[in-house]
Structure 1
Amino acid sequence: MVENKPIVYVISDSVGETAELVVRAAASQFDGKQINIRRIPYVEDRETVDEVMTLAMENDGIIAFTLVIPGLREYLIEEAGKKNIPLYDILSPMMMLLQRKFNKIPKNEPGLVHALDENYFRKVEAIEFAVKYDDGRDPRGILRADVVLVGVSRTSKTPLSQYLAHKRLKVANIPLVPEVDPPPELFHIPKDKVIGLTISSEKLNTIRTERLKALGLKEEANYAKFQRIEEELVHSKRIMEQLGCDVIDVSNKAVEETANIIYHMIQKRKEK
């Protein structure tokens, strides 16, 4: 039975993250929610390739792939051609271009982009740091962080921390709540390490209302009331002014956009 949403099968002899990102980027131009992506990582044999092609034929699907093992790549291209399966090779055109430019033969080894180098370990360390010092769990992280995010609940502090961790930045985040004094450590670090996150009361009301619905709670809860939201925003603004930190309005920004703004701010400061 063919599914309503078009299916893209992503085949890789490594993790498959690169191929999926390319597919999602392309799909975003056609409303990315209207496709179904099935990632098949660590493909090393023809049997798995055959299984995916069978699924693609049954579901009128598309195959996108990043296979660097020559024999496997050639087999997929040849067999998909015979079966008239729409196929897209993500890596080969760029590899061929670089091969001509460098006048070298590529290694054709899967997973080299995820090699266990120093950058990889720094990324893992930063991700673990973001988890450990999320939501003000341990204020000692403030003193060790590259950047500290502060803001009221639902200003994307946690997803921003994780996103920036993938860029190898150690991030701690602190919720600002009127009933709780901020950790003293927050006032003992350079102000340029602190980033305040603010949001419009209307946007925050919408986000919190949806959050309550997702949790199966009543929309009338104090958490989403405008009076409570205004109280929190006034309190957070006062704390940010005391800290003298930069403030970013996240009301109409995607997490990725805000994260890139923060990342470039941090990089500029490091260059000074």
Structure 2
Amino acid sequence: MQKPVVYLISDSLGETAEKVIKAALLQFINGQEYELIRTPYVEDKSRIRQVLSDAKKDQAIVGYTLVDPELRQFVMREAVEMQLEAIDIIGPMLEAMERLFQKKPRMKPGLGHQLDEAYFRRVEAIEFAVKYDDGRDPRGIEQADIVLVGVSRTSKTPLSQYLALKSFKVANVPIVPEVEPPKELFETDPAKCYGLKISPDKLNDIRKERLKALGLKEHANYAAPKRIHEEIDYFETVVDRIGCPVIDVSYKAVEETANIILQLQMTTR
């Protein structure tokens, strides 16, 4: 079977189209079996015609996000003429909202990428997550919206960054038996702290892979079952002392864990 090709046409960056197309593609094929060709900042019909012509040669599917109804209709007509499968990703939503709100949309591409207050809040949150990553400075615990607590390799850093993209200031604290956690951890609001629990077997697998990636022997103490059990037991005593929620991340993606935390955040507000 020929490798599927998908063309994305957008009057902005094309991120919306890419996310929707990828989500749909994953229901049929994995991420290595297709090619995405994104064409951003499209403003004229000649450029659209060229992209559609290329898509025709590649026997591709076309997804497009264009706020201008004239350009959307043009894509639709051209695609029909060329016998191309083209999907209008944003058009039906715009038209439904126009009927609901009884007003015309702004017809301004890229509004989601304007440098507004939300953008700067997100940047600030990302900088905060970097500054207070891995317990570097315990002063960040009190300032944080969310504090993650866990042993090494429980995805504290990627989870911090993911939540930062949602504009939450996140600090994370590693739990090591030989090191007393910072006193700030026991003085802050336990409702904003989250323990990241993991099964010993899963942690053992993860740490072995980590050692391999570093070119070290997988039998090092870092991945030894006895050491792992000691760390997890110590983690349990710490989170019990804090009195915070605990999430089992053993078989969860970062996004799944983040969604659980965000839901818990909403219930405690």
- TM-score between the two structures when normalised by the length of structure 2: 0.89
| Residue of structure 1 in register with 2:4 after alignment | 6
> What is the CA distance between 1:55 and its match in structure 2?
4.0
| Residue of structure 2 in register with 1:26 after alignment | 24
| Residue of structure 1 in register with 2:169 after alignment | 170
| Residue of structure 2 in register with 1:60 after alignment | 59
TM-aligned CA distance change 1:175 to 1:47, over 3 Å: farther
| Residue of structure 2 in register with 1:15 after alignment | 13
1:258 aligns with 2:257: yes
TM-aligned CA distance change 1:139 to 1:50, over 3 Å: farther
> What is the CA distance between 1:145 and its match in structure 2?
0.1
CA distance in 2, matches of 1:59, 1:85: 10
SS in 2 for 1:14: coil
CA distance in 1, matches of 2:40, 2:231: 45
> What is the CA distance between 1:250 and its match in structure 2?
0.8
List aligned pairs for 1:191-202, cutoff 5 A.
191-202=190-201
SS in 1 for 2:121: helix
TM-aligned CA distance change 1:154 to 1:55, over 3 Å: farther
**Larger displacement relative to structure 2 (243-252 or 7-16):** 7-16
**Larger displacement relative to structure 2 (183-192 or 38-47):** 38-47
**Larger displacement relative to structure 2 (8-17 or 192-201):** 8-17
Return the letter of the residue paired with 1:87. A
List aligned pairs for 1:153-232, cutoff 5 A.
153-232=152-231
Gap regions ≥5 residues in structure 1:
none
| Residue of structure 2 in register with 1:269 after alignment | 268
| Residue of structure 2 in register with 1:122 after alignment | 121
TM-aligned CA distance change 1:233 to 1:29, over 3 Å: same
CA distance in 1, matches of 2:44, 2:226: 61
| Residue of structure 2 in register with 1:137 after alignment | 136
> What is the CA distance between 1:227 and its match in structure 2?
2.2
SS in 1 for 2:105: coil
Gap regions ≥5 residues in structure 2:
none
SS in 2 for 1:178: coil
SS in 1 for 2:27: helix
Q: CA RMSD for the aligned pairs? A: 2.2
SS in 1 for 2:37: strand
CA distance in 2, matches of 1:219, 1:13: 50
**Larger displacement relative to structure 2 (157-166 or 260-269):** 157-166
CA distance in 2, matches of 1:228, 1:244: 24
Tell me if structure 2 keeps the 8 A contact 1:135–1:175. Answer: yes
SS in 2 for 1:252: coil
After superposition, what is the alpha-carbon deviation per residue over 1:8-44, rounded to whole angstroms, capped at 9, x for unaligned? 2222211222222212222232244243333333333
Tell me if structure 1 keeps the 8 A contact 2:11–2:41. Answer: yes
List aligned pairs for 1:24-103, cutoff 5 A.
24-33=22-31, 34-46=33-45, 48-103=47-102
> What is the CA distance between 1:121 and its match in structure 2?
2.4
> What is the CA distance between 1:173 and its match in structure 2?
0.8
Tell me if structure 2 keeps the 8 A contact 1:24–1:32. Answer: no
Report how many residues are paired.
268
**Larger displacement relative to structure 2 (240-249 or 51-60):** 51-60
> What is the CA distance between 1:88 and its match in structure 2?
0.7
SS in 1 for 2:120: helix
TM-aligned CA distance change 1:84 to 1:224, over 3 Å: farther
After superposition, what is the alpha-carbon deviation per residue over 1:87-140, rounded to whole angstroms, capped at 9, x for unaligned? 111000111111122222222110123333332322222122112212222222
CA distance in 2, matches of 1:77, 1:227: 63
Return the letter of the residue paired with 2:253. A
